Amino acid sequence: MTDALHFDPNTGIAAIGVQLPPLAMDVRELAALRGVDPDKYTLGLGCDEMALCPEGYGVVDLAVGAAKRALAQWGGSVEDIGLLVVGSESAVDMSRPLSAFVAEELGLRGRIRSYETKHACYGGTVALRQALEWRLSGAARGKAALVIASDVALYAPKDPGEPTQGAGAVAMIIAEPKVARIATESFAYAEPAFDFWRPVGDSFPSVEGKLSLDCYKKATEECFQQLVGDRTPADALADFAAVCFHVPFPKMVKKAVGQLGESFEWTPEATSSFYEGMVNPTMDWNRKSGNGYTASLWISVAQALAGRAAGQRIGAFSYGSGFGSELLVIEAAEGAAAAPWADEVAEDLKSRRLVSQDEYDALRGARLAAAE
Ligand code: COA
């Protein structure tokens, strides 16, 4: 089977760094605290644990931690970086970009373009595409880009979205494709909607949960139909080893795949086999991080790339409320097999502490007070 995708031999993901925060909570504990049947959170939403930040630790710490890991794996020097982009929806300032806070910690200054991208959970993917296209355009003049997706996802206490909270950051060096190549072509779809938003000054998002699911499903269908084009879905997806999604919570992904199966006129068995074989196995880390907003898709991609043989193909579907979406095609390269970032994630998960109901209450109380 042939397709029209192009993979530049000199540009792709050269290194990946993932950072999860030092605390987490089992959603069953949250269910007990809120007087909810735990099955609603585990079976109904597909959640397991939600990563949490202690007081004084936040989106910048996550971004810097991920960046340091990516830089260490890459082996290049910060002087070789010509672009720093941080995608996030947890901005700490309406004017000063998150990239400036991160650059300060990393000692990055000089002949570099540094900025922040915002488009809900799609912001990290926009940052990645811009870095990729900057390299492909020739504007980079051989320099590398440091792209970071970093977020802390918190809802108002007792909000229905509370069990889907999470946090995390993924940093990627965009330079020689040692870890993965990314197809130059991608498949985007956008439509204005108010499905999830956070007005200026508000600490927590407003969500139309059902509308966001409908928008997400429509975006999935629109992006994958472009990938399929005039082929059959089976042909178009035949050489994919895994398909990663933005993961607000795993059940949302399962529903979107259900919608995709219907639009492809697959039998329920074929849809289920696609979900269980290609999608569900990529969400193990997401079940431990919770929703990392911009980082969520890239946590899934980092997991899917880990240990992969060179040449294996992965789909990466990005969605951000508002809404914008894009499907990327990624191919593992030689460096994916060793996957040092997988050891770092395992270490983060092993060393982090699960908080009790009392601790969670105290943490949220302190955060609410800080936000006022
Ligand atoms: N045992 C098992 N399953 C249960 C259950 C129980 N005791 N109680 C409820 N459930 C199931 C429901 O049947 C439902 O599953 P279904 O949708 O497959 O039918 C699921 O749990 C959720 O229940 P629901 O009543 O719809 O939840 P809710 O009104 O509390 O809302 C969200 C949940 C997730 C929709 C809400 O948290 C939300 O809006 N989250 C944010 C969405 C988001 O992140 N959007 C962003 C952009 S992508």
Report yes or no: 118 and 91 within 8 Å, Cβ to Cβ: yes
Any alpha helices (H) in 174-292, and if so which ranges?
Answer: 209-228, 233-237, 250-263, 268-274, 284-289
Q: How many residues does the chain have?
A: 372
- The residue behind tokens 């597909």 is 46
307 in any annotated domain: yes
372 in any annotated domain: no
% pLDDT > 90, the chain = 96
The reported pTM is: 0.97
> Which ligand 1 atom is the nearest neighbour of the CA of 255?
18
* Confidence band for 1, pLDDT divided at 50, 70 and 90: very low
For ligand 1, which residues put their CB under 6 angstroms from it?
37, 39-40, 43-45, 121, 160-161, 164, 196, 207, 209, 212, 216, 248-249, 251, 319, 321
Looking at residue 264, which CATH number applies to its domain?
3.40.47.10
* Shortest-distance Cα residue to atom 29 of ligand 1: 160
What DSSP state is assigned to residue 53? P
365 in any annotated domain: no
Mean of the per-residue pLDDT values of the chain = 96
Q: Which of 248, 342, 247, 265 is nearest to 302 (CA)?
A: 342
**Could you tell me the residue range of the domain that residue 145 belongs to?**
2-356
249 C-alpha vs ligand 1 centroid, how far in Å? 9
pLDDT per position as a tens digit, 139-190: 999 999 999 999 999 999 999 999 999 999 999 999 999 999 999 999 999 9
138 in any annotated domain: yes
Averaged over 239-254, what is the pLDDT? 98
Q: Is 215 exposed, middle or buried (0-12, 13-18, 19+ CB in 10 A)?
A: buried
371 in any annotated domain: no
* Shortest-distance Cα residue to atom 6 of ligand 1: 40
366 in any annotated domain: no
Best mutation site among 34, 36, 40 for ligand 1 pocket (most ligand atoms within 8 Å of CB): 40
pLDDT per position as a tens digit, 62-117: 999 999 999 999 989 999 999 999 999 999 999 999 999 999 999 999 999 999 99
150 in any annotated domain: yes
pLDDT per position as a tens digit, 14-32: 999 999 999 999 999 999 9
* Confidence band for 2, pLDDT divided at 50, 70 and 90: very low
364 in any annotated domain: no
CA distance 273 to 109: 49
* Shortest-distance Cα residue to atom 27 of ligand 1: 160
Q: How many domains does the chain have?
A: 1
pLDDT per position as a tens digit, 130-149: 999 999 999 999 999 999 99
153 C-alpha vs ligand 1 centroid, how far in Å? 17
pLDDT at position 369 is: 74
* Shortest-distance Cα residue to atom 11 of ligand 1: 44
% pLDDT > 70, the chain = 99
pLDDT per position as a tens digit, 36-64: 999 999 999 999 999 999 999 999 999 99
